[in-house]
Amino acid sequence: MMHMLVVIAAGLGVVALILRLFSLQIRKYAAGEVCGSTARLDGKVALITGANSGIGKETALDLASRGARVILACRDVEKGEEAATEIRTRVGGAKVEVRELDLADTCSIRAFAQRFLREVDHLHILINNAGIMMCPYMKTADGFEMHIGVNHLGHFLLTYLLIGLLKRSAPSRIVVVSSLAHHFGWIRFHDLHSQGSYNSGLAYCQSKLANVLFTRELAHRLHGTNVTVNSVHPGTVRSELVRHSTAMSLLFAIFSMFLKTPKEGAQTSAYCAVAEELQSISGKHFSDCAPAFVAPQGRNEETARKLWDVSCELLGIEWD
């Protein structure tokens, strides 16, 4: 027994030494690619959901530094104002404002859009960034399971309500923040809201697959409008997203060296929002500022169309 403990301790020591010796190389690899575009966004308007922290805040900082008017759509307005103040401090003359938006409540989404359309004349960039991950079983104000309700249906409705303004502001872009987790997701049409059984990880994966399918179907429907839409995998990022999972929080703490910072995680969102070479690219998936592989279930056109129809039915809208 003592011999085994010595061997384990020695092995852990070797691993720790290797990690220390190669820490710079590991961090460089984990950081991923950087958005190299120098495009300016003067006179452009960008809307980012969930921009009070994490990659949303860093994406807002990036776009504001390019001269865009950036609107932070946040459930927690107080935290949103703190983020806006930080951005203004870091970027002289930054045009940043905060508006309340709760993606778990369709009444809040409709009220947000109504005010937005009344007060904002153009929208050139919409980044559907907000998300929830591995939370206990909860329902939105409208009775949707929280993952599919916030991550997919909330953004689906928001995009529907703003699509006319995006078309009138063209060329414009929509960026949908998905995840590598879509590879492990399946759309459970027979139990979309996990009422029969619930697994927080699988519910999250289903919602991220829904993001990819929504992107592909929306791109098809927007063909010829000069409005593009692409989805992104930001990477595995140190953020508040894992706050609902003790196990994930512990793993993230142990393997923090292998995780991206929020700034690093925001690079692909910024890339899809500003890169000149993507002006006419739509319906694609990106990671590390480059095209990324989509799981077979994320490329199924029949599933994408069915999810679109089901989403419209659940939200009580008609979107042809």
Catalytic sites, residue numbers: 204
Residue type, 170: A
And the tokens for 86? 């930080």
Find residue 73's DSSP bridge partners.
49, 99
Contact 134, 242 (CB under 8 A): yes
Q: Is 221 exposed, middle or buried (0-12, 13-18, 19+ CB in 10 A)?
A: middle
Contact 109, 116 (CB under 8 A): no
Return the DSSP state at 255.
Answer: T
Q: Tell me if residue 34 falls in helix, strand or coil.
A: coil
And the tokens for 271? 């890339």
Angle in degrees, CA 214, 218, 105, rounded to 5: 55
- What is the number of residues in the chain? 320
Question: CB-side exposure of 244: number of CA atoms within 13 Å?
Answer: 14
Strands (E), 118-157: 125-128
